[in-house]
Amino acid sequence: MEIVVSGIRPTGNLHLGNYYGALVNFIKMQEENKCFFFIADWHSLTTHPDPDRLPINVKNVLSEYLACGLDPEKATVYIQSDVPEIAELYLLLNMHAYLGELEKTVSFKEKARQNPNNVNAGLLTYPVLMATDILIHHADYVPVGKDQEQHLEMTRNYAARFNYKYGVEYFKQPTAYNFGKELIKIPGLDGSGKMGKSEGNCIYLTDSPKDIENKVKKALTDNGPEGINTPKPDYIENLFTILKVVSTPEVVAYYDNLWNTGETKWYGKLKKQLAEDIIRTTSPIRERIDSIKNDDAYLQQVTKEGAAKARETAGKTLREVREMMGLSFHSAR
């Protein structure tokens, strides 16, 4: 069985784009692979989150992932900071991470530019911590977005460098796993490309039916097609893209036909349909989120069992690495 690792930073709530772009695939992958999905709370510390807020965010993200179908019986689901082995391996791998390459990382340069007063060492070595997350479980595949590919490349470098340095074929070379054709990019409601937290054009899985109706109502439209069989402008195409994932092919064909015949004055109806179908898709998830969030005993059990499972493989890797690096003369542990 192939090993899959992916981390999720506990920032903000999940939206429709996350759901169709990543989560649906995580849920598929857990059926056929040995998966480790974790909440990367240490990574989120680089930006000094409010200590009162962080545990709430961790709980929210965890509840949302479970509500969407991440199954702790199938995948190992844990919180990064519950696995101290990661911190130690990170320390060891840091000895093989060089300042020059870390300073050149695109994500580091970007964050340093955005936040010149908080260029901390944790930010600099963010890719080493991420490499540790991946290598500690000997991952084959890492499902991540395009923006993480450089980190994956660095992970492969650290693996190869370690193997070369200690003359072993120990760490595997993990590959970034994009879902290729299956990857559905959910557009925002403002006609401006991708749905994203920072764009403020999101439908969240936690949005109430009323919120969803209002957001869809406000989506950008125009006066209608300017003729028969004209191409759709981006912002109209976007509404159809979302309709395609939440509605039936018949519904999509019906509105496509209205567009192609050049008819006008049906956007109101389209939006009503779209809102209804989004609500039908997200409501059961929202209800599950609510009930899981209120079930502290269940969440405790999931994180406890997840941490124990993660620590098994992590502990084995750490013991082997200590040995290879010569940390083998000491008091009996």
- 82 Cβ contact partners less than 8 Å away, ≥ 6 residues apart: 303, 306, 307, 310, 311
Q: Of 3 and 274, which has the nearer Cβ to ligand TRP?
A: 3
244 is catalytic: no
Q: What's the CA gap between 321 and 171, in Å, rounded?
A: 10
As measured in angstroms, the least distance from the Cβ of 333 to ligand TRP is 27
Handedness of CA 306, 311, 317, 321 (dihedral sign): positive
As measured in angstroms, the least distance from the Cβ of 162 to ligand TRP is 17
Q: Of 106 and 228, which has the nearer Cβ to ligand TRP?
A: 106
Amino acid at 110: E
Q: Which stretch binds ligand TRP (CB under 6 A): 16-24, 130-138, 288-296, 299-307?
A: 130-138
Greatest CA separation found in the chain? 82
Q: What's the CA gap between 15 and 285, in Å, rounded?
A: 12
197 is catalytic: yes
Q: Of 145 and 284, which has the nearer Cβ to ligand TRP?
A: 145
| Marked catalytic residue, from 74, 172, 197, 232 | 197
Binds ligand TRP (CB under 6 A): choice among 41, 85, 133, 207: 133
Binds ligand TRP (CB under 6 A): choice among 30, 46, 63, 148: 148
Alpha-helix residue ranges (DSSP H) falling in the chain: 16-18, 24-32, 41-44, 54-68, 84-94, 99-104, 106-114, 121-124, 126-135, 149-166, 209-217, 234-246, 249-260, 267-293, 296-325
Q: Of 67 and 136, which has the nearer Cβ to ligand TRP?
A: 136
Q: Is 43 in the site for ligand TRP (CB under 6 A)?
A: yes
CB 259 within 8 A of CB 221: no
- Nearest CA-CA partner of 42 in 106, 3, 85: 85
Q: Of 43 and 286, which has the nearer Cβ to ligand TRP?
A: 43
Q: Of 124 and 134, which has the nearer Cβ to ligand TRP?
A: 134
Q: Is 102 in the site for ligand TRP (CB under 6 A)?
A: no
Q: Which stretch binds ligand TRP (CB under 6 A): 1-9, 15-23, 51-59, 186-194?
A: 1-9
Residue 5, strand partner residues: 36
Binds ligand TRP (CB under 6 A): choice among 142, 236, 302, 318: 142
Which tokens in the block code for residue 41? 């709370």
| Marked catalytic residue, from 111, 215, 271, 293 | 111
Count of residues binding ligand TRP (CB under 6 A)?
12
Q: Length of the chain in residues, anyone? A: 333
Tokens 């997840």 locate to 306
Q: Which stretch binds ligand TRP (CB under 6 A): 141-149, 217-225, 274-282, 287-295?
A: 141-149
| Marked catalytic residue, from 104, 109, 185, 194 | 194
As measured in angstroms, the least distance from the Cβ of 52 to ligand TRP is 23
Three-class DSSP category at 252: helix
Q: Is 41 in the site for ligand TRP (CB under 6 A)?
A: no
Q: What's the CA gap between 131 and 159, in Å, rounded?
A: 8
Amino acid at 119: V
Tokens 């899959």 locate to 4
User: Which positions touch ligand TRP (CB under 6 A)?
Assistant: 5-7, 9, 40, 43, 130, 133-134, 142, 144, 148
Q: Return the active site residues.
A: 111, 194, 197
